[in-house]
Amino acid sequence: MSSGPSKVSKGRPPSDVWCNHMIQGNMQSRGHYSATCSYCRQYWRQGRPQVLSAHLANHCKKCPDDVSLYFAKIVGKNLAKEEEESVDEDESDYPNKRVRQTGIKNFYGGEVELSRVNARVNNELEKESNFTIALDGWTDPRGNSLWAFILLTPSRKEYLLQLEDLSKNSHTAEYLSKVINDIICKVGISKIVAIIKRCFITCPGQS
């Protein structure tokens, strides 16, 4: 196995995703290799750069914040580029263009929008300060213990940073403390002014 991009086929520049972020495995088809995330060890039989980038941007909980933000921007830019190219195509090719564009959007799906949101949120957080961390805890109709971790801004914006099902967690208080600490480290302790617990969220079937 190799963590470098040396196996990438000639003529195609290696994706940044292979530089220390993914472990490149055996070739599965021409130009495509198996991949393992260097942070969480998730495995893909065929590691496509778009999928791997989306994983680092949106899903890998062990991925460093700066790496996650970097790939969130890349995923968003990729779709923007594809959409721009499709708009420039000739009108006579409209049916085929629509098929390609739909395929692109389906491929990226919610990953791209999530990446765009993540990038936008991070950019806004860098500009503001005096945040409040709010914890919302409730039980859904199925009896699951759900917790939402929300960041409140002075301008009354709310950002849902994390949603957790702690039904099977016997050390809820300990876990809550860990998540709060992670948020403080991510946002910056100098930007946090308060931590509160609230129970404003209600679910269907609850009084």
In tens, the pLDDT along 147-175 reads 888 888 888 888 888 888 888 877 778 88
Q: What is the pLDDT of residue 179?
A: 84
Chain segment 102-145, per-residue pLDDT in tens: 444 444 445 556 666 666 677 777 778 898 988 888 888 888 88
SS3 130: coil
- Cβ neighbors of 167 (< 8 A, separation 6 or more) are 143, 144, 145
What count of Cα atoms within 13 Å lies in the side-chain half-sphere of residue 194?
8
- Whole-number percent of the chain with pLDDT over 90: 10
Most confident of 3-12, 38-47, 165-174, 176-185: 38-47
User: Hey, which of 42-46, 50-54, 75-79, 181-185 has the most confident mean pLDDT?
Assistant: 42-46
State the Cα–Cα distance between residues 1 and 13, nearest whole angstrom.
20
Q: What is the model's pLDDT at position 144? A: 82
Lowest mean pLDDT of 12-16, 38-42, 118-122, name the range: 12-16
Strands of the sheet containing 22-29, edge to edge, are 22-29, 32-37, 43-44
Domain regions of the chain by residue span:
16-124, 128-198
Q: Which of 7, 102, 116 is nearest to 54 (CA)?
A: 116
Residue pLDDT, tens place only, 81-100: 665 555 555 444 544 444 44
Residues whose CB falls within 8 Å of the CB of residue 31, separated by 6 or more in sequence, listed in order: 8, 9, 12
Torsion of Cα atoms, 146 then 151 then 157 then 161, to 10°: -60
Is residue 3 predicted with pLDDT exceeding 60?
no
Q: What angle separates helix 65-87 from helix 110-127, to the nearest 10 degrees? A: 120
Q: What is the pLDDT of residue 4?
A: 44
Q: Residue 135 is encoded by which pair of tokens?
A: 């914890």
The pair of structure tokens assigned to 45 is 């039989």
Give the pairing of strands 145-152 and 158-165. Answer: antiparallel
pLDDT for the residue 41:
94
Report the distance separating Cα 156 and Cα 2, nearest Å: 48
Cα distance between residue 207 and residue 168, in whole Å: 24
Q: What angle do CA 41, 59, 24 make, to 5 degrees?
A: 35
Q: Could you say which architecture CATH assigns to the domain 128-198?
A: Roll (3.10)
